[in-house]
Structure 1
Amino acid sequence: MKILISNDDGYFAPGLATLAAHLSTLGEVVVVAPERDRSGASNSLTLDRPLSVRQAASGFYYVNGTPTDCVHVAVTGFLDFRPDIVVSGINHGPNMGDDTLYSGTVAAATEAFLLGIPAIAVSLAGKNRHFDTAGQVATDLVRRFQAQPFSRPVLLNVNVPDIPAAQLAGTEVTRLGRRHHAEPVIRAQNPRGEAVFWVGPVGPEQDAGNGTDFHAIRQQRVSITPLMIDLTARDQLDEIQTWLNP
Structure 2
Amino acid sequence: MKILLSNDDGYFAPGIQLLFTTLQQEIQFQSLVIMAPERNRSAASNSLSLLEPLRVHSHSVPNGASNCQIYSVNGTPTDCVHLGVNGGLGYQPDIVLSGINAGANMGDDVIYSGTVAAATEGRFLGKPSIAISLCGDQHFATAAHVLVHFLKQMPSMTLSRDTIININVPDIPLESLKGVKVTRLGKRHASEPVVKQNDPRGLPIYWIGPAGEASDAGEGTDFHAVESGYASITPLKIDLTHYDMMSQLSDWADNY
TM-score (normalizing by structure 2): 0.92
TM-superposition CA deviations, 1:85-119 (whole Å, max 9, x none): 11100000000000010000000000001111001
RMSD: 1.3
1:49, distance to aligned residue in structure 2 (A): 1.0
Q: Tell whether 2:133 aligns with 1:120.
A: no
**For residues 36 and 56 of structure 1, what CA distance do their matches in structure 2 show?**
14
**For residues 88 and 250 of structure 2, what CA distance do their matches in structure 1 show?**
44
Whichever residue aligns with residue 47 of structure 1, its letter is L
**For residues 149 and 92 of structure 2, what CA distance do their matches in structure 1 show?**
22
**For residues 200 and 136 of structure 2, what CA distance do their matches in structure 1 show?**
34
C-alpha contact (below 8 Å) 1:172/1:221 kept by paired residues? yes
1:43-192 aligned within 5 A: 43-58=46-61, 59-127=69-137, 129-145=138-154, 147-150=155-158, 152-153=160-161, 154-192=163-201
1:220, distance to aligned residue in structure 2 (A): 0.5
Whichever residue aligns with residue 88 of structure 1, its letter is S
1:216-227 aligned within 5 A: 216-227=225-236
TM-score (normalizing by structure 1): 0.95
Q: Tell whether 2:15 aligns with 1:11.
A: no
Overall identity of the aligned pairs, in %: 53
1:239, distance to aligned residue in structure 2 (A): 1.9
Q: Tell whether 2:32 aligns with 1:29.
A: yes
1:57, distance to aligned residue in structure 2 (A): 2.8
Stretches of 4+ aligned residues off by more than 4 angstroms:
none
Unpaired runs of at least 5, structure 2: 62-68
1:211 is matched with 220
1:199 is matched with 208
**For residues 194 and 235 of structure 1, what CA distance do their matches in structure 2 show?**
48
Q: What secondary structure sits across from 1:87 in the alignment?
A: strand
1:48, distance to aligned residue in structure 2 (A): 0.2
Q: What secondary structure sits across from 2:250 in the alignment?
A: helix
Q: What secondary structure sits across from 2:83 in the alignment?
A: helix
**For residues 34 and 182 of structure 2, what CA distance do their matches in structure 1 show?**
28
Unpaired runs of at least 5, structure 1: none
**For residues 203 and 7 of structure 1, what CA distance do their matches in structure 2 show?**
23
**For residues 97 and 244 of structure 2, what CA distance do their matches in structure 1 show?**
33
Q: What secondary structure sits across from 2:122 in the alignment?
A: helix
1:241, distance to aligned residue in structure 2 (A): 2.3
C-alpha contact (below 8 Å) 2:37/2:76 kept by paired residues? yes
C-alpha contact (below 8 Å) 2:128/2:159 kept by paired residues? no
2:65 is matched with none
1:84, distance to aligned residue in structure 2 (A): 1.8
C-alpha contact (below 8 Å) 1:19/1:138 kept by paired residues? no
Q: Size of the alignment, in residue pairs?
A: 244
